[in-house]
Amino acid sequence: MARNMMELVRRGRSGLPLLRMASPFSTQQAVDSPSLKGLSGLRINKEATQLVGRTPMVYLNKVTEGCHAQIAAKLEFLQPAFSVKDRPAVAMIEDAEKNGLITPGKVHFETTGPEIWDDTLGQVDIFVMGIGSGGTVTGVGRYLKSKNPNVKIYGVEPAESNILNGGQPGPHLITGNGVGFKPKILDMDVMEKVLEVKSEDAVKMARELAKKEGLLVGISSGANTVAALTLARMPENKGKLIVTVLPSLGERYLSSALFEDLRREAEQMQPVPVD
């Protein structure tokens, strides 16, 4: 399966290549290995931090019933630490060694935004992203708007903790989103609107992505997809390209509500005698 995914190239309108990597990780900064005789020019990275970024994109196909627009997901969980947070983590550490001036929003402006623009050949119409620190939606949103002011940016927050829409903070299941206050780096002006997603819908969609699309992702990925589908089903968005992000790998949510049914089923399993 892994080999098939690595070789897969999905093409949408205008022949957009949206899953176009030979590996889940970047080899942009690969180095030669002079210690290996006759093997010059190897595409091998010097260290793990060089694997951050250049994550692939893929169209969603099985959960998009009734949609008028196409949805492309950027697989940020395919990074060394399996999270969208790999980017700001590396950037902040590297910059801290220098001046300590970088912010999470800045790294997404410099890397994630340009990658989305390049991979869609500048044809992205809508970007939708959950709000935790606000770095991704702010950085990507500002970059895409700088390239095309007509690109629409939407944030996502838990319906149970909808403070960005004037509500009150509250408990929810969308890990990493809905921190209970307006983050300092969040640029509200870059967004058209902040969409609300219920925790139960986010959990259900995360399961659907695993079952139907083959993407084992976390609950925040489910929330982003629910929001993207809401936009894609609007008649006014017919024919548009909507991009969202799948931030983290589902494996780290084994103890969460995402796998509650499977845990319950496993607990009820009876031992089978073996002859």
Q: Determine how many CB atoms are found less than 10 A away from the CB of residue 67.
A: 19
Contact criterion met (CB below 8 Å) for 203 and 191: no
Q: Is the pLDDT of residue 159 over 60?
A: yes
- Strand, helix or coil for residue 44: strand
6 falls within a domain:
no
Whether 161 is covered by a domain: the verdict is yes
Count the domains in the chain.
Answer: 1
Is 126 inside a domain boundary?
Answer: yes
Report pLDDT for 111.
85
Angle at 248 between CA 215 and CA 88, to 5 degrees: 145
H/E element holding 211? Answer: none
Note whether residue 114 is domain-resident: yes
SS (H, E, C) 179-203: CCCCCCCCCHHHCCEEEEECHHHHH
DSSP string, 227-265: HHHHHHTSGGGTT-EEEEEE-BBGGGGTTSGGGHHHHHH
Residue 138 lies inside a defined structural domain of this protein: yes
199-208 and 219-232 helices cross at what angle (nearest 10)?
Answer: 90
Strands (E), the chain: 57-59, 70-75, 126-130, 152-158, 193-197, 241-246
Q: What is the rounded distance in angstroms from the CA atom of residue 101 to the CA atom of residue 232?
A: 38
Sheet of 70-75, strand order: 57-59, 70-75, 241-246, 126-130, 152-158, 193-197
pLDDT above 90 (res 243): yes
Q: Is the per-residue pLDDT at 259 higher than 90?
A: no
Whether residue 273 lies inside any domain: the answer is no
Q: What are phi and psi of 17, to 5 degrees?
A: -85, 110
CATH number at residue 77: 3.40.50.1100
Considering the domain boundaries, does residue 176 fall inside one? yes
Mean per-residue pLDDT for 45-74? Answer: 87
CB 12 within 8 A of CB 70: yes
Calpha distance 162→178 (Å, rounded)? 7
Averaged over 85-107, what is the pLDDT? 73
More confident residue, 211 or 262: 211
pLDDT in tens, 40-50: 566 656 777 77
Query: Does pLDDT of 138 surpass 90?
Result: yes
pTM of the model: 0.71
255, pLDDT greater than 90:
no
What is d(CA 230, CA 225) in angstroms, rounded to the nearest whole number? 8
The count of other CB atoms within 10 Å of the CB of residue 231 is 24
CA 61 to chain centre: 17
- In whole angstroms, what is the distance from residue 117 CA to residue 32 CA? 30
Q: How far apart are CA 81 and CA 83, in angstroms?
A: 6
Does 74 fall in a domain? Answer: yes
- Domain region containing 71: 49-263
